[in-house]
Each structure stands twice: as structure tokens, then as C-alpha cells.
């Protein structure tokens, strides 16, 4: 398929702009643009066709089953798209006066209250832009909390699980902490004996998700919380797997002090090909003074932004957060109400059903009931037929499914992490299971078919090694008849008519 | 075309899957067949600078494949005399010929006694078997 | 299903959860609303906001009321793009991957840089990203930022600084712009210098001189720029900058009470291995056909973990895609026209306000789409009074800057008309 630049025809454009009868402004010569940027030049119908064609080469939840473990690819309710586009939300400037943004502030406050209830903690900030930023904000809160208590220099280490998502250790470094890793035991729980050796008065805290990335609920979570609280350390909950336990077990009740929630996972914000997301944090009372400013507060019957937080860590991003995401997540929560618990029950039911159907054909590293996701291994296929998790994933594409997460968590070789979510019908789960079983059989009968998969996508298997070596990260224009740098004259654009 | 598995017996080895070829007061260093096989095709080598001091058991550089990045551990201490420019330009050389053209640095040894703590080929093959 | 699993109830699926952490009551949330009632509730909340259909707006200060063409909505509502995940499986995601590659190209074209990432969170966090890259590239821990840079950008950099181990030094504005000499002195031993063009006051900085001052001190020059201005203003890459960052909202996104939008981050090739965030690269498939993949992933958290160039995972892809569509619809001619129109209308508005008796806060400065004007009274009072006449006249600069309590920052985009400007003048007349 051509790039949009390869479809450009000089002089074409999407639409006309308004012209006004005002004197033209002059840019000082030393600041003026010399050569126009080589933006695409297409008429509107061609633009629509180009992006429509691009979308047909892409697979979303709207297209089919998307069981990416740890991503919670649930259906994104369409009414939420309409609601986010209401002019009262869509066309609102963030610096409007307080009296002019009461609807927006109320929505945010209500969302905060709902997240507080779901997490079992006391105070919420919606500011962080995504889970990773929520993690970093949470670690900054820890730093501020300990500094306030005079323990800032003493506490220099954060403990993460060896099954942790890569964002956890990356956040630890960005927050200026040292990293320590605790092992996982044979039942998929944090190794409590190993933990006891590691935790001391230098520990600032723990970062953990529960259920873990293995899809298993940690059976010793109460003991783990005790170990950290006894030395005055804090517990941080990575909310990536919250879809398993809403209304069933709350992170605050498990003993966590700071929680981030992924609005683009648990609360249905569409992933948009990589973003946007939302990573609000919810904290225990004693951490509230350190939350980012401004806070959204309710003052009798009115809502306002409170900047009077002398102990706040400051601002972690512009304004009050991704408001369009809040609209969608709030609408999602309001459409469930207290029945949010059923969301988790069905998510866990669906995962265990798939696990039951697949456990004979693939290796199961931890033989326990799963929560909302589970991890299989293609290790036997590798040993017996030379077929890797990657080959299984590519072959699933030919069956019309998006592959699960592969090669994560790191503690499982040839890992396949499968998370169906609650919005899938049993028939879909059965079709997927049938495909996985068929592929396990194909691994024996016709392994080459898998190694060369996919066969039915717009492209064949792509060469990532070549991409890394060439590092071609933008269109080069060299072959374009009009726009190559070889042309000496900067292109002259028409002066604006009537200017 | 990746090389087939081999561990030359005229080399000394380090448990972190590095080799050393001693030549008087100098040594040539690189990574073993096991290491390049685990990483996959290398796409990048981040070397130290010539003149840098490197320390035994510490990282002196990095190698990357598409899916993984790995520190390269120095089996011996010394001063970097030469960095293999061929590997910088064509990292896959390490996969094709990990003990020959795929050498990473040449160093002047600062403590010849360190050589005694390295593994011979049989001891290293044991490490590989247990990995 | 329960039979296949081998349990007798859904409740049994949760038997591994210790009793001590079981949630024993119903969630205290308001009852479920079906779609129609849900819509009514949200519409009621929306109706209590004064959006731009209710009040004529001259608010800017980082978020702007530019015209978003209808094709942007059309593309962003395509379910295959809207509901897709990060393109880790490239054969399923050529649509998103190619779109990001095109976006990266457009950002590089606008900024004159060699490499762009797939987006950062917003125009503030990309400044923190730039500091992190500069620190690791230079080994220095001092960062210089101009006072004329957006206050929120400066606040975010200061929030990130302790964890990054950075010292932040500000260079004050002099009459609405930055003095290159002062910047050069401050930039000794700095990892990078961040300046904004046009700056927060809407004034055009002597950007090539500021970049030169940074380069003289061997600090990396980082320009924080407005994408809509880059059809008329020079690209940072053409005047000595090492990185170009900014808030993308003006290109392709509604204001939406400030989010979600997208930050852009572009740099010279020297910095490619230190870039935060995702990067899409071109490659071939097994049949020799061109295709796109995420590349140089060894920079990122899922591989490099604690040594990653950033912890960022989810970014702002869909909003960046909106930027790509908008800029494609404009083309180079349209982008230049938008810039010229904004600049001309803003200058016209300023002259009309001056005619009516108000003083410019920074006389003799050339401005782009915003300007600062003295109202002759407390700016918040002026705003209240103007709003009674259905006009929001701009941002009260005294909220962020000393000695500017009577000053309004007035933004004029291509969505405003000369008739709107007449209303502004009238609304600011006491």
C-alpha cells in the first residue's frame, strides 16, 4: 500500500480556509520559514480513502476476538463515543471560570468517588495520563511521604516482583529509587521467605499487581502487607489486573496504600492503537496531602479546583487529566452500577473456561484456578516440533483471531498469556479454543505451515531485524518526483489570495 | 548464517558467557556461541571507548538483538586498546563467527593473575549444560 | 461452562482469595443506568459547562480553539483503529503502524528533525522526557528553561526533577522575550536549554540566537513549538536545535477540557537510541513487500526494564493520528494560510484593542496567535464583566507571573472573525 506522501499531487488540498479582510502580518525575516514542510497534498476524497484503506489493514476489538493478556481488550461501548463528543465536553476550554465548568468538575468528582469505592482507599487524583505515569506518580508520592517524615535518605529501595511488567522497574529508575526483585514460588505466589530476607528499614515500598501477571491471586497477600507495614514501608498496587476483582476484593483491603487504575483496561477507554489511556491514582488518607495539584473537591453543592496543597508533589502533566477518557470511563461505570462485580465474575469465568479447554494441549506452568487471565507455555511444541509461541501466535492470525500476549511474563518460557474479558460470548471462546487445538495438531502434522504464518494477512511475517538495522523511521522523499531534496528551489507556494 | 555450536579449547571462559584469548600481556574478548544463540541475531553493539579502563566481572558494553539487550561482562581487567569496528558496523558478525571476526575488544591486561580464575573449556561446557 | 472447568459455582472460582480480603458487601455505587438514561445524565452534566458554542472564546494559554475538519472525526471513529491495541503484532496492525510512520514523517517535516516518536502524553511531559534524554546524552544535571515557557511545562519539569536528579534554572523574560546573552550565561554546564516559540505570551523569541546561545555552552537546544505555526515559522532543526517538542492539540484535536491530546517529541539522529516512547520503522515481509513494525524496542521498558529510556507504554496514538489527518487535510499551503490568518487576526485584534484605549503589555514585540494586553483593571474583574456580555476575553496572566495582574492573554485563531473581534473590544470596554 502506498504511503500518503506517495499519493500527493502538488497543489491539492483537503479544503479551503476562511479569508478575512485584515492586514497581513509579517514574520521577521530571521524567523521566517524558508522551505515549506512536505505535508501530504491530497483532496478530501483521497484522504478518506487512504485512511479507510489503512483501517482495513488493521484489526481491533470491533473486528474480532483480541485476548491479549494484561491488556483487558473488552468491548468499547459506542454510546461513550457519542457522549465524549457532546459540545459541553468536547468544546470546553480548561481555563474557563469555575462557574462555567461545574458539569465537568462534577463528572470528575463522581468518577473519583467511584474509583475510591472500587479500590477501598480514601482519596483520588485523576491527573496521570496512563498506568506508567500513575506508577511514577505513586513513587513520587512515596518519596514525598518519607521526606516529610524525615526518612527520605533512609528509604532508597523499591521491591518489585520478578513477574512484573517492565514499566515497574522503569518507573523505579525514573523516580530515583534502587530496584530489588523478589522471586515467585512454585504456586505462582510471591516467595514470602525471600521477601522477608529483603525487606528492612531501607525499603520504601513494594510494587505489585494482584492477581499477578500469571493471572493468579496471591494467597499470602495479607502476610506480604504485614511485612512491609511492620517496617514502615508502603505498598503500591499496579491496577493492570483490576478487571478480575472489582467488587470481590479491593486493593485497599488487601493492604495496598497506593493504587493506579488503567481506565483503558478495566474501564473501557478504547486503546486507539496505542493510546490514549488514563492512570488515576487512589491513596490512603495519610498520602492525600502529597497528591498532585490541583485536586477536584466538592464544597457543599459546588465543585472546585483546589491548589492549596502545600505538601503536594506538584503537577505531573498539564491541567487535570485526559477528560475525554473520564467521560467514557464514568459512563461505563454508571452503566454497570453495583453490578460491576458481575463484570469481574464473568471475566474470571471466561478465563477459566478457556483454560479448561486448552490445558491438555499446551503446558500449564501453574496448576491453579486462574483469575481473569492465564498463562500457558508452548514449551512442549518447541521441544517436540521446533514450534515457538511466536509461531502459534502468527498462525492464530490465519484463524481470524488476534494473538494473545507472548513471551511475558519472563519467568515462563514460550509464554502465551490469554485474557478473554467479560464481553465475549461462549461461542467465541469455543471458536478460539478450537483454533488453538487445531494449531497444536498442526505443530505435529505440518510445522512449516506455522513457521511461515501468517498466510492470510495483508503482509507476510515481517522482518524486525531488518527494521532495527535500517532504522528507516520516516519517509525519505528521495524517490518522489517533486519533493526530493535534490531539487534546488524551495517550492514556491501561492500567496494567499485577498491577503 | 549463524555458526554451529562450538567452544574452542584454546580459549578461557567466564561464567557470564564471555571468552578471552590471551596473547602475552594482551587479550581479545568476545561472547560465546551460547550467548549469541540466546540473544538471536545481533542488531547493535555499544562498545567502550579506546583508552577506557574495564574491570573484571563488570559490564564494558552492550549487545542487542531485536528482542533483548545484554551487558557484555569483562572476564579480565585492563585498558581497551582496540574496539572491533567490523562488529560495530555489522553486529551479526558475532553470530556468524563469535570467536574469530566477532571479537569485541582487545585489551592490555592490568593483572595477569586474573587469568587463573577463568574457566577452561570443559568447566565452561559444564556451565552451559546447567543453563 | 462451570462443568467444563470442574467447579459448581462462579463463587468457587474465587476460592484462592483469602477470607480476610474478601469484599463482603455490595459496591456503594449508584444504580445502573441503561443507555437512554445514561445519555440524559451525561447531557445534563455537559449542559452545565460554558463551551465555545455558549460563550465567544479568546482563551488560549496552551489549549486552542482551532477548527477540526470533519474528516478527523471520520478517521478516528473507524473501529479498526479506535479499538486496536498497541501494534506489537505487526501483521495485524499495518494500519496503525503505517499511520504512525506517516505521523512521524509529518512531525519531522514540521520540525526539521531526523526522528520522531509515536507521541508522548502532552506538551508538558515531553519536556521532562527531553531533560532525561539530555542528561544521559551529556552527563550533565543542570537544565535551563525560560520563564517565558508555559508555566505548566515548567511545573512538570520541576516535579520530575528530583527523581531524575536534575537542577532546574530559570531565565527571566525581559519585556516578553528572552535575552540570548542572559541565556548563554545561564547555560554553562547545562545538559539542555528549553525555550518556547512562540512563547507563552504569544511573542516571537529570537529563537536562532537562543539556540546558538545554548550550543555555545555545549547544551542541547530544545525548542517547544506550536505545530500550527510551523507553516510560517522556521523549523527548529534549521536553526541549531537538537530536539523539538510541543503540545500537538492545535493540530487535529478538540479542546475537550484539556485532554486527551498528544505531546510530540522529535530529535536529531544522534539521539535516536535514547528516544523515549515507541518508534515505527520500515521493513520488508517474507515476500519482499514493504511493511512497518515497532522498532528499536530495546530502548523501551518491556525489554530494557530498569534501564529503559522511559517507562512510557500507552501513549496518545489516536490523538496523534488526528494530528496527521488534520495536517494532511491542510497540506503545506493550508498550514501556511492558517498561520498567516491567525497572525493577521491576532495583530488586528491587538490594534483594535489599542485603538479602544488598552495598552499592549509587551509593546514592539511581534506576536503569533496570542498577545498580552493591559486591561487597566484587575484582569479577573475584566473577565467577569466581559463574560456578562457573552465573551470570554482571555487568560489572566497574573495567575502565573508577577506584576501582570491587569494583563489578559488573548488568543485569536482562524475560528474568530473581525465581527467577533469587535465584540471582544466592546466586551472589554468598561
In the predicted structure, residue A222 carries a pLDDT above the cut 70: yes
Say what the pLDDT of residue C78 is: 98
CA C388/CA C326 separation, integer angstroms: 34
Establish if C19 touches chain A: CB-CB under 8 angstroms: no
Interval A56-67 mean pLDDT: 97
A342, A334, A382: which is closest to A362 by C-alpha?
A: A382
Nearest to A344 by CA among A243, A264, A268, A209: A243
Give mean pLDDT, residues A404-432. 95
For A142, the closest chain C residue by CA position comes to: C163
Q: What mean pLDDT do residues A427-433 have?
A: 98
Residue at B35 is within a domain? yes
Please, what is the average pLDDT of chain C? Answer: 97
- Cβ-contact A264, C316 below 8 angstroms: no
pLDDT at B1: 62
Q: Give the number of domains in chain B.
A: 1
CB contact under 8 A, C49 and A104: yes
Angle formed by the axes of helices A323-336 and A102-119, to 10°?
60
Q: Output the CA angle A404-A410-A416, nearest 5 degrees.
A: 20
- State percent of chain A over pLDDT 90: 92
Q: Which of B44, B65, B69 sits opposite C304 (nearest CB)?
A: B69
Helices A389-398 and A426-445 pack at an angle, to 10 degrees, of 120
Contact B41 A465 (CB under 8 A): yes
| Confidence (pLDDT) at A165 | 87
How far is B112 from B116, CA to CA, in rounded Å?
8
CA distances from A380 to A388, A390, A416, A443 (A): 9, 14, 13, 10
* Chain A contact set for B69 (CB, 8 A): none
Distance CA A279, CA A282 (A): 10
The per-residue pLDDT of chain B, averaged, comes to 94
CA-CA distances (angstroms) from residue A69 to A415, A421, A454, C160, C165?
A: 11, 9, 21, 31, 35
Q: Beta strands C190-197 and C220-225: pairing type?
A: parallel
- pLDDT exceeding 90 applies to what percent of chain C? 94
At residue A486, the pLDDT reads 54
Could you write out the DSSP letters of every residue in A372-430?
S-EEEE-HHHHHHH---HHHHHHHHHHTT----EES-STTSTTEEEE---TT--HHHHH
Torsion of CA C30, C34, C36, C37, to 10 degrees: -20
Q: What is the pLDDT of residues B26-81, one digit of tens each?
A: 999 999 999 999 898 999 999 999 999 999 999 999 999 988 889 999 999 999 99
Domain boundaries along the sequence of chain C: 56-68+332-427, 71-324
What are the chain A neighbours of B67 within 8 Å (beta carbons)? 407, 464
Q: What is the CATH number of the domain that holds B17?
A: 2.40.50.100
Q: Phi/psi of residue B44, each to 5°? A: -155, 140
Sign of the CA dihedral running A86, A89, A90, A91: positive
What per-residue confidence (pLDDT) applies to A75? Answer: 98
Fold classified for C56-68+332-427: 3.90.1150
C270, C273, C277, C283: CA torsion to nearest 10: 100
Distance from CA of C187 to the nearest CA of A (A): 22
Degrees, nearest 5: CA angle C42-C413-C334: 110
Return the H-helix or E-strand segment holding A207: strand A203-208
**B123 Cβ contact partners less than 8 Å away, ≥ 6 residues apart:** B13
- Residues of A (214-233) whose Cβ lies below 8 Å from C: 216-217, 219, 221-222
Interface test with B, best of A170, A468, A470 (most B CBs within 10 A): A468
Q: With bands split at pLDDT 50, 70 and 90, how would you rate the model's confidence at B3?
A: confident
- The alpha-carbon gap from C298 to the nearest alpha carbon of chain A, in Å, equals 10
Using pLDDT thresholds of 50, 70 and 90, give the confidence band for residue A410.
confident
Other beta carbons within 10 Å of C79: 17
Q: Taking Cα atoms as reference points, which of A200, A195, A250 lies closest to residue A230?
A: A200
Q: What is the arithmetic mean of pLDDT over C69-80?
A: 98
Q: Which of A174, A128, A207, A155 is nearest to C163 (CA)?
A: A174
* Cα distance between residue A254 and residue A238, in whole Å: 13
SS (H, E, C) chain C: CHHHHCCCCCHHHHCCCCHHHCCCCCCCCCCCCCHHHHHHHHHHHHHCECCCCCCEECCCCCCCCCCCCHHHHHHHCCHHHHCCCCCCCHHHEHHHHHHHHHHHHHHHHHHCCCEECCCECCCCHHHHHHHHHHHHHHCCCEEEEECCCCHHHHHHHHHHHHHHCCEEEEECCECCECCHHHHHHHCCCEEEEEEEECCCCCECCCHHHHHHHHHHCCCEEEEEECHHHCCCECCHHHHCCCEEEEECCCCCCCCHHHCCCCEEEEECHHHHHHCCCCCEEEEEECCCCEEEEECCHHHCHHHHHHHCCCCCCCCCHHHHHHHHHHHHHHHHHHHHHHHHHHHHHHHHHHHHHHHCCCEECCCCCCECCEEEEECCCCHHHHHHHHHHCCEECCEEHHHCCCCCCCEEEEECCCCCCHHHHHHHHHHCCC
- Give me the sign of the Cα torsion angle A422, A427, A429, A432: negative
Residue from C413, C264, C254 nearest A323 by CA: C254
d(CA B83, CA A443) in angstroms, rounded, equals 44
Identify whether B2 is part of a domain: no
First to last CA, chain B: 24
- Rounded CA separation A192/A480 (Å): 62
Contact criterion met (CB < 8 Å) for B69 and C297: no
**Shortest distance, CA A281 to any CA of chain C (angstroms):** 16
Find out whether C379 and C397 touch, Cβ atoms under 8 Å: yes
Contact present, A374 and A347 (Cβ < 8 Å):
no
Rounded Cα distance between A179 and A168, Å, is 9
Whether residue A318 contacts residue A396, with contact meaning beta carbons closer than 8 Å, is answered with no
Chain-wide mean pLDDT for chain A?
94
pLDDT in tens, A472-491: 999 999 877 677 765 434 44
A308-358 tens-digit pLDDT: 999 999 999 999 999 999 999 999 999 999 999 999 999 999 999 999 999
Q: Any idea which fold C71-324 has?
A: 3.40.640
A372 and A211 Cβ atoms separated by less than 8 Å:
yes
Which residue of C13, C49, C282, C417 is the best one to mutate when testing the A interface, meaning the one whose CB has the most A CBs within 10 A? Answer: C49
Q: Is the pLDDT of residue C159 over 70?
A: yes
In the stretch 395-414 of chain C, residues with CB closer than 8 A to chain A read 395, 414
The answer for C84, left when phi > 0, alpha when psi is -120 to 50, beta otherwise, is beta
Provide mean pLDDT across the span A276-299: 97
CA distance linking residue C356 with residue C389, whole number of Å: 17
Instruction: Report yes or no on B22 lying in a domain.
Output: yes
- Contact assessment for residue C307 and residue C299, using Cβ atoms and an 8 Å cutoff: no
pLDDT tens per residue across span C201-243: 999 999 999 999 999 999 999 999 999 999 999 999 999 999 9
For position A495, what pLDDT does the model report?
41
Asked if C297's CB is within 8 angstroms of B66's CB, the reply is yes
Region C85-90 average pLDDT: 95
Q: Indicate the range of A36-40, A59-63, C197-201, C426-430 predicted with least confidence.
A: C426-430
Q: Which of residues 407-446 of A touch C (CB under 8 A)?
A: 408, 426
What is the rounded distance in angstroms from the CA atom of residue A341 to the CA atom of residue A33? 57
**Full residue range of the structural domain in which residue B56 is found:** 12-112
User: CB–CB of B66 and C304 under 8 A?
Assistant: no
Complete domains list, chain A, with CATH: 1-57+458-499 (no CATH), 82-338 (3.40.640.10), 341-451 (3.90.1150.10)
Cβ B19 vs Cβ B31: under 8 Å? yes
Order across the sheet with C220-225: list the strands: C115-116, C263-267, C243-247, C220-225, C190-197, C142-146, C167-171
> How wide is the angle at C-alpha A57 spanned by C-alphas C108 and A324, nearest 5°?
65
Cell of C131: 531533560
Q: Report the gap between the CA of C299 and the closest CA in chain B (Å).
A: 9
Amino acid at each position: 500500500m502506498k504511503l500518503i506522501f506517495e499519493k500527493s499531487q502538488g497543489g491539492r488540498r483537503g479544503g479551503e480556509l476562511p479569508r478575512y479582510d485584515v492586514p497581513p502580518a509579517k514574520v521577521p525575516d530571521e524567523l521566517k520559514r524558508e522551505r515549506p514542510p512536505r505535508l501530504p497534498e491530497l483532496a478530501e476524497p483521497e484522504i478518506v480513502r487512504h485512511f479507510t484503506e489503512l483501517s482495513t489493514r488493521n484489526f481491533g476489538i470491533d473486528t474480532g476476538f483480541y485476548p491479549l493478556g494484561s491488556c483487558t481488550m473488552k468491548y468499547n461501548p459506542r454510546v461513550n463515543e457519542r457522549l465524549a463528543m457532546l459540545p459541553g465536553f468536547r468544546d470546553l476550554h480548561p481555563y474557563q471560570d469555575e462557574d462555567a465548568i461545574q458539569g465537568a468538575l462534577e463528572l470528575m468528582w463522581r468518577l473519583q468517588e467511584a474509583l475510591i469505592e472500587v479500590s477501598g482507599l480514601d482519596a483520588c487524583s485523576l491527573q496521570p495520563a496512563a498506568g506508567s505515569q500513575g506508577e511514577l506518580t505513586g513513587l513520587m508520592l512515596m518519596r514525598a511521604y518519607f521526606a516529610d517524615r524525615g526518612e527520605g535518605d533512609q528509604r532508597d529501595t523499591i521491591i518489585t516482583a520478578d513477574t512484573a511488567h517492565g514499566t515497574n522497574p522503569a518507573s523505579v529508575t525514573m523516580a530515583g529509587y534502587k530496584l530489588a526483585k523478589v522471586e515467585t514460588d512454585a504456586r505462582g505466589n510471591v516467595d514470602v521467605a525471600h521477601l522477608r530476607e529483603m525487606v528492612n528499614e531501607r525499603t520504601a515500598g513494594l510494587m505489585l499487581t494482584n492477581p499477578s501477571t500469571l493471572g493468579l491471586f496471591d494467597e499470602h497477600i495479607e502476610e506480604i502487607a504485614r511485612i512491609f507495614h511492620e517496617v514502615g514501608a508502603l505498598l503500591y498496587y499496579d491496577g493492570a489486573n483490576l478487571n478480575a476483582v472489582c467488587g470481590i476484593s479491593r486493593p485497599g483491603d488487601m493492604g495496598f496504600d497506593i493504587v493506579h487504575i488503567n481506565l483503558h483496561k478495566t474501564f473501557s477507554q478504547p486503546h486507539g492503537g496505542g493510546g490514549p489511556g488514563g492512570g488515576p491514582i487512589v491513596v490512603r488518607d495519610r498520602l492525600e496531602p502529597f497528591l498532585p495539584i490541583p485536586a477536584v473537591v466538592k464544597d457543599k453543592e459546588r465543585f472546585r479546583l483546589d491548589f492549596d496543597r502545600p505538601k503536594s508533589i506538584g503537577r505531573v502533566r498539564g491541567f487535570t487529566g485526559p477528560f475525554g477518557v473520564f467521560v467514557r470511563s464514568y459512563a461505563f461505570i454508571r452503566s454497570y452500577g453495583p453490578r460491576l462485580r458481575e463484570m469481574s465474575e464473568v471475566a474470571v469465568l471466561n478465563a477459566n473456561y478457556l483454560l479448561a479447554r486448552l490445558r491438555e494441549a499446551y503446558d500449564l506452568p501453574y496448576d491453579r484456578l486462574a483469575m481473569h487471565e492465564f498463562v500457558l507455555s508452548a514449551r512442549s511444541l518447541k521441544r517436540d516440533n521446533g514450534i515457538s509461541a511466536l509461531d502459534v501466535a502468527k498462525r492464530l492470525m490465519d484463524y481470524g483471531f488476534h494473538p494473545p500476549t507472548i513471551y511475558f511474563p519472563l519467568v515462563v518460557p514460550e509464554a502465551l498469556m490469554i485474557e478473554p474479558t467479560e464481553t465475549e460470548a461462549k461461542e467465541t471462546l469455543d471458536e478460539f479454543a478450537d483454533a488453538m487445538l487445531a494449531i497444536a495438531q498442526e505443530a505435529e502434522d505440518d510445522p512449516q505451515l506455522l513457521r511461515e504464518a501468517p498466510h492470510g494477512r495483508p503482509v507476510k511475517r515481517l522482518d524486525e531485524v531488518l527494521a532495527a538495522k535500517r532504522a528507516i523511521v520516516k519517509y525519505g522523499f528521495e524517490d518522489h518526483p517533486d519533493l526530493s531534496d535534490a531539487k534546488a528551489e524551495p517550492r514556491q507556494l501561492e500567496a494567499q489570495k485577498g491577503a | 548464517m549463524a555458526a554451529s555450536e562450538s567452544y574452542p579449547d584454546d580459549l578461557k571462559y567466564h561464567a557470564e558467557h564471555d571468552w578471552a584469548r590471551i596473547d602475552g600481556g594482551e587479550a581479545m574478548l568476545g561472547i560465546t556461541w551460547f550467548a549469541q544463540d540466546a540473544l538471536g541475531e545481533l542488531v547493535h553493539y555499544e562498545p567502550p571507548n579506546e583508552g577506557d579502563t574495564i574491570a573484571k566481572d563488570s559490564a564494558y558494553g552492550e549487545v542487542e538483538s531485536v528482542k533483548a539487550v545484554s551487558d557484555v561482562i569483562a572476564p579480565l581487567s585492563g585498558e581497551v586498546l582496540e574496539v572491533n569496528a567490523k562488529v560495530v558496523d555489522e553486529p551479526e558478525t558475532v553470530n556468524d563467527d563469535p570467536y574469530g571476526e566477532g571479537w569485541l575488544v582487545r585489551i592490555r591486561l592490568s593483572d595477569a593473575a586474573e587469568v587463573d580464575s577463568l574457566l577452561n573449556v570443559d568447566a565452561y561446557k559444564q556451565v552451559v549444560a546447567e543453563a | 461452562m462451570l462443568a467444563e472447568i470442574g467447579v459448581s459455582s462462579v463463587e468457587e472460582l474465587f476460592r484462592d482469595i483469602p477470607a480476610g480480603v474478601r469484599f463482603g458487601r455490595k459496591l456503594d455505587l449508584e444504580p445502573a443506568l441503561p443507555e437512554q438514561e445514561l445519555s440524559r445524565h451525561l447531557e445534563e452534566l455537559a449542559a452545565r459547562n460554558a463551551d465555545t458554542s455558549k460563550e465567544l472564546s479568546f482563551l488560549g494559554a496552551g489549549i486552542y480553539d482551532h477548527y477540526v475538519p470533519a474528516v478527523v472525526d471520520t478517521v478516528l471513529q473507524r473501529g479498526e483503529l479506535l479499538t486496536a491495541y498497541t501494534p506489537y503484532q505487526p501483521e495485524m496492525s499495518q494500519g496503525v503502524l503505517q499511520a504512525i510512520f506517516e505521523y512521524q514523517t509529518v512531525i519531522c517535516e514540521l520540525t526539521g528533525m531526523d526522528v520522531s516518536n509515536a507521541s508522548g502524553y502532552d506538551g508538558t511531559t515531553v519536556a521532562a522526557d527531553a531533560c532525561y534524554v539530555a542528561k544521559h546524552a551529556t552527563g550533565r544535571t543542570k537544565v535551563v528553561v525560560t520563564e517565558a515557557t508555559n508555566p505548566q511545562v515548567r511545573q512538570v519539569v520541576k516535579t520530575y526533577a528530583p527523581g531524575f536528579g536534575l537542577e532546574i534554572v530559570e531565565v527571566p523574560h525581559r519585556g516578553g522575550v528572552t535575552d540570548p546573552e542572559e541565556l548563554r550565561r545561564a547555560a554553562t554546564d547545562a545538559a539542555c536549554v528549553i525555550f518556547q516559540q512562540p512563547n507563552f505570551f504569544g511573542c516571537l523569541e529570537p529563537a536562532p540566537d537562543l539556540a546558538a546561545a545554548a550550543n555555545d555552552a555545549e547544551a542541547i537546544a530544545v525548542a517547544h513549538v506550536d505545530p500550527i505555526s510551523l507553516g510560517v515559522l522556521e523549523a527548529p532543526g534549521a536553526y541549531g536545535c537538537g530536539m523539538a517538542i510541543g503540545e500537538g492539540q492545535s493540530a487535529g484535536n478538540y479542546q475537550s477540557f484539556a485532554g486527551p491530546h498528544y505531546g510530540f517529541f522529535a530529535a536529531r539522529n544522534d539521539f535516536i537510541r535514547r528516544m523515549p516512547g515507541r518508534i515505527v520503522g520500515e521493513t520488508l515481509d517474507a515476500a519482499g513487500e514493504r511493511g512497518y513494525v515497532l522498532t528499536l524496542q530495546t530502548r523501551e521498558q518491556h525489554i530494557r526494564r530498569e534501564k529503559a529510556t522511559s517507562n512510557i507504554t500507552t501513549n496518545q496514538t489516536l490523538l496523534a493520528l488526528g494530528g496527521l489527518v488534520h495536517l494532511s487535510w491542510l497540506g503545506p499551503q493550508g498550514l501556511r494560510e492558517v498561520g498567516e490568518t491567525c497572525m493577521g487576526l491576532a495583530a488586528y485584534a491587538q490594534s483594535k484593542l489599542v485603538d479602544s484605549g488598552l495598552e499592549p503589555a509587551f509593546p514592539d514585540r511581534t506576536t503569533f496567535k496570542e498577545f498580552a494586553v493591559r486591561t487597566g483593571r484587575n484582569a479577573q474583574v475584566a473577565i467577569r464583566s466581559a463574560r456578562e456580555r457573552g465573551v470570554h476575553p482571555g487568560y489572566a496572566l497574573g495567575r502565573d507571573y508577577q506584576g501582570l495582574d491587569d494583563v489578559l492573554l488573548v488568543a485569536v485563531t482562524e475560528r474568530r472573525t473581525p465581527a467577533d473581534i469587535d465584540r471582544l473590544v466592546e466586551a472589554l470596554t468598561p
